[in-house]
């Protein structure tokens, strides 16, 4: 089952979490955005997709579905979406390698939505998802957003725990049934 959850950005205080930036830096990670990477890496989009693809496969979805997008499908959904902004796609790097991202969908006159948070398997547990989400909240506050949302699957404890820790409140869930017709 999937459910949406919301975070009140006006009430959110990053202070209890901000120590994570020291941790990620001490572990050798840098945090940036796709907009900044495009300025120094001509193939930044392709490199981000290379990191995203296996992480996307790890996202649990209802009915065992998987995020299995070609580069073109991913570009259309994440980069060419009118509600996206390369300055709102946050990337974790280790050296030149992209190892994590958080991306936002910026609904006009509505809440923002985290469209994806993912960290390459070998780089998990260093606080990268937390740090990237904090950067995304800073962006949203600076751009006048008062609420951000996330939609997650009940079979995904890592992101559920992270979002609960940050103070997201659950909204009513969505149940889906599949009936094979043949």
Ligand X SMILES: CC(C)(COP(=O)(O)OP(=O)(O)OC[C@H]1O[C@@H](n2cnc3c(N)ncnc32)[C@H](O)[C@@H]1OP(=O)(O)O)[C@@H](O)C(=O)NCCC(=O)NCCS
Rule CB under 6 A: which residues touch ligand X? Answer: 55, 58-59, 116-119, 124-130, 152, 156-159, 161-162, 165
- Residue 53 vs 147, nearer CB to ligand X: 53
Least Cβ distance, residue 13 to ligand X (angstroms): 17
Least Cβ distance, residue 22 to ligand X (angstroms): 14
Q: What are phi and psi of 102, to 5 degrees?
A: -130, 130
Alpha-carbon distance of 44 to 15, in angstroms, equals 31
Sole residue written with tokens 């459910």:
3
Q: What is residue 91's three-state secondary structure?
A: strand
Angle at 162 between CA 157 and CA 167, to 5 degrees: 120
Give kind and range of the element (H or E) at residue 122.
none
Least Cβ distance, residue 43 to ligand X (angstroms): 22
* Distances in whole angstroms, Cα of residue 131 to Cα of each of 32, 91, 102, 126, 138: 11, 10, 10, 9, 11
- Residue 117 vs 136, nearer CB to ligand X: 117
Please give the full DSSP string across 17-42, using - where no structure is assigned. Answer: GTTHHHHHHHTT-EEEEHHHHHHH-T
Least Cβ distance, residue 176 to ligand X (angstroms): 17
- Residue 20 vs 44, nearer CB to ligand X: 20
Hey, which residues does 168 pair with through a beta bridge?
A: none
Least Cβ distance, residue 39 to ligand X (angstroms): 25
- Residue 44 vs 159, nearer CB to ligand X: 159
- Residue 39 vs 176, nearer CB to ligand X: 176
Q: Minimal CA–CA distance to 90: which of 75, 102, 78, 105?
A: 102
- Residue 93 vs 126, nearer CB to ligand X: 126
Least Cβ distance, residue 141 to ligand X (angstroms): 20
């Amino acid at each position: 089952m999937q459910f949406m959850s919301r975070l009140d950005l006006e009430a959110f205080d990053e202070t209890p979490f901000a120590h994570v930036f020291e941790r990620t830096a001490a572990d050798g990670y840098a945090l940036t955005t796709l907009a900044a990477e495009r300025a120094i890496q001509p193939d930044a989009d392709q490199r981000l997709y290379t990191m995203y693809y296996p992480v996307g496969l790890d996202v649990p979805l209802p009915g065992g579905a998987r995020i299995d997008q070609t580069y073109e499908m991913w570009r259309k959904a994440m980069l060419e979406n009118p509600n996206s902004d390369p300055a709102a796609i946050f990337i974790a790097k280790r050296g030149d390698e992209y190892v994590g991202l958080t991306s936002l969908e910026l609904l006009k006159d509505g809440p923002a939505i985290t469209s994806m948070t993912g960290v390459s398997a070998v780089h998990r547990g260093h606080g990268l998802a937390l740090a990237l989400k904090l950067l995304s909240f800073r962006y949203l506050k600076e751009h006048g957003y008062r609420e951000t949302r996330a939609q997650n699957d009940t079979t995904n404890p890592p992101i559920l725990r992270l979002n609960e820790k940050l103070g997201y409140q659950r909204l009513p869930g969505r149940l889906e049934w599949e009936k094979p017709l043949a």
